[in-house]
Amino acid sequence: MSKRERNISTEQRLKELFRDYYLKAPLHLPPDFNLREFAFQLFGSSGYIRHKAFLSEAELRNFVVQHVPKHMYFSAAKYLDPARPNMDEKMRIGTDLVFDIDADHIPKCEEVLQVLYLCPRCGAVIEKPRDTCEVCGSKLIEYQHIPEDCLEEAARITYLLTDVITNELGHKIFTITFSGHRGFHIHVQLNEEEGKMGSEARRELLQYLLGEGTELEQYLVRVVKKRRRIYVKPPPRIVEGGWRRRIALFLLHKIQDYEIRTFIEGKKQAINTSKLTSIADEINKLIQEAITAMRIIVDEKVLIDLSRLIRVPESINGKAGFIVKRLTLDELTNFKLDETLSPFASLELKILPKVNMPKLRLLGKDIRLKRGVSLRIDGALGVYLALKGLAEIIEVL
């Protein structure tokens, strides 16, 4: 390695790696991308280049290769003049629906989210929130570690949301992406009339997804004896739609009895009341569980903001170095965070850790970092650690 190569900064190496990717990357743009505002955050800057518009994919690619953004976005809104710097002058046509499902917003995952405060100067690892290092006084880096099973739970919720979008909201055209960091996005393309939906209507949609105002009593199996006859109110069924459909989907994952399953699926119109009565309490407990399990938690700000920016599919998320990857429903169902989501997985890097971490589990691997002791590591992990501020990239091998 030459002296010049040794003097290249980690930021510059990252930019070169990103540029190499964007020279060939198959960016996935909506068909009406010329009506959308684009925005970019560059390396070494906390601000954004805003109010950009492009007439062709080639024009966009030339801009990206020249400037090498750390993050790139387009607007959920469509405008007659998207490049105007004044939002009112852009003349909004309509705004698509965008759902953001983050693993760290899921209640049970918030409880297990590991947050560490790391000192890049002396290598200290501190577990309690602080702005500066208690050892040397330097500014700390906040590092959040999200367990892989929480990402898989976010994938489950995202899959459930696709069912709601298709079968309850009636939308067929949408794109599912892994956000490239800690969650998933769904972009539903709306026609001009649908896109006029205001923030309040979008907030009502959020409340529906969360089941706010849902009364448990209306879904429970009820057994009523009247004049020597027994009347049974059955459990929710798939064919009934709405929250009843959602609860029925949950019940199908839990109930083994063939007759009751076929009734819930809508394949039978009647059910043996004696059998249903005998297990009513068991079913009602499951219905109570379903109200919680089938809530769909999405980012409120993303959903209701009419001028929201969303990540360009197949771009790189500069927080972790993973691709904002488009997913099929099958890929979403079987989602695993692994090196295939990084465009740098085939590379080998030499890195210099800036902190001491006795054990860190990433991409299914256990790694140990010792400040000042270099190591060879695969590109996916090396870029991740560099973007998190945990290591410097010394060399691309």
What tens-digit pLDDT sequence spans the chain (397 residues)? 544 456 789 999 999 999 999 999 989 999 999 999 999 999 999 899 999 999 999 999 999 999 999 999 999 999 999 999 999 999 999 999 999 999 988 888 877 778 888 888 888 888 888 889 888 888 898 888 888 889 999 999 999 999 999 999 999 999 999 999 999 999 999 999 999 999 999 999 999 999 998 889 999 999 887 777 777 889 999 999 899 999 999 999 999 989 999 999 988 887 888 888 888 999 999 999 999 999 999 999 999 999 999 999 999 999 999 999 999 999 999 999 999 999 999 999 999 999 888 788 888 888 899 999 999 999 999 999 999 999 999 999 8
Instruction: Let me know the angle formed at the C-alpha of 190 by 189 and 194, rounded to the nearest 5 degrees.
Output: 165
Place of tokens 């989210």: 113
Q: What span, in angstroms and rounded, lies between the C-alpha atoms of 253 and 278?
A: 20
Q: What span, in angstroms and rounded, lies between the C-alpha atoms of 148 and 275?
A: 41
Q: Which two tokens stand for residue 340?
A: 């295939």
Q: What span, in angstroms and rounded, lies between the C-alpha atoms of 97 and 312?
A: 15
The pLDDT value given to residue 161: 97
The pLDDT value given to residue 6: 61
SS3 string, 222-236, reads EEEEECCEEEEECCC
Among residues 189, 141, 200, the alpha carbon closest in space to that of 165 is found at 189
Q: What span, in angstroms and rounded, lies between the C-alpha atoms of 22 and 43?
A: 15
Separation of first and last alpha carbons in the chain: 10
Q: What's the burial of 323, exposed, middle or buried (CB within 10 Å: 0-12/13-18/19+)? A: buried
The pLDDT value given to residue 237: 94
The pLDDT value given to residue 231: 78
Backbone angles phi, psi at 144, to 5 degrees: -105, 130
Among residues 189, 184, 173, the alpha carbon closest in space to that of 324 is found at 184
The pLDDT value given to residue 2: 46
Give residue 321's identity as a one-letter amino acid code.
Answer: G
The answer to whether the beta carbons of residues 189 and 165 sit under 8 Å apart is: no
Q: What span, in angstroms and rounded, lies between the C-alpha atoms of 43 and 14?
A: 9
DSSP labels, 327-349? --HHHHHT----GGG-TTTT-EE
The pLDDT value given to residue 5: 56
Place of tokens 């980012």: 299
pTM for this one? Answer: 0.91
Backbone angles phi, psi at 211, to 5 degrees: 75, 25
Q: 109: part of which helix (H) or strand (E)?
A: helix 107-110
